[in-house]
């Protein structure tokens, strides 16, 4: 299946970038979510697509830093991860309001994929 195309910014057709998202503390089951124009919409999409038990309220990078904009998502398409994830942003970890950040998912991901 092909990705939706975005012509809204420049009139030129470009493939919209997706982000790999894991639930807080996990490094196994990820979801690929299209990066929307604002973080609130993206978090809503994460809630729906990840099957969270509450609304996604925060997003964390591989380094454990809070993501505050979709521009940060777009800038995270790292060449060293493209062999693992493809041309996709991330990985990121999403939390709900009831959760505190759990770095075990980030650490397990790094150990499994980046320390070879």
The CA-based dihedral angle spanning residues 55, 51, 48, 29, taken in that order and rounded to the nearest 10 degrees: 110
Q: What pTM did the predictor assign? A: 0.77
Query: Can you read off the two tokens belonging to residue 4?
Result: 């939706």
Model confidence pLDDT, tens digit, residues 59-114: 999 899 999 999 998 888 766 566 555 678 889 999 999 999 999 999 998 888 77
Model confidence pLDDT, tens digit, residues 98-112: 999 999 999 998 888
Would the pLDDT of 13 be above 80? Answer: no
How many Å apart are CA 6 and CA 15, to the nearest integer?
6
């Amino acid at each position: 299946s092909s990705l939706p195309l975005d012509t809204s910014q420049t009139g030129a057709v470009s493939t919209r970038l997706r982000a790999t998202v894991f639930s807080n503390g996990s490094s196994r089951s990820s979801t690929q979510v299209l990066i929307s124009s604002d973080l609130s919409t993206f978090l809503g999409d994460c809630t729906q697509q990840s099957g969270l038990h509450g609304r996604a309220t925060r997003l964390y990078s591989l380094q454990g830093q809070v993501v505050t904009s979709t521009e940060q998502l777009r800038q995270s398409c790292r060449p060293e991860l493209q062999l693992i994830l493809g041309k996709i942003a991330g990985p990121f970890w999403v939390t709900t309001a009831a959760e505190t950040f759990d770095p075990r998912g980030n650490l397990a991901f790094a150990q499994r994929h980046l320390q070879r």
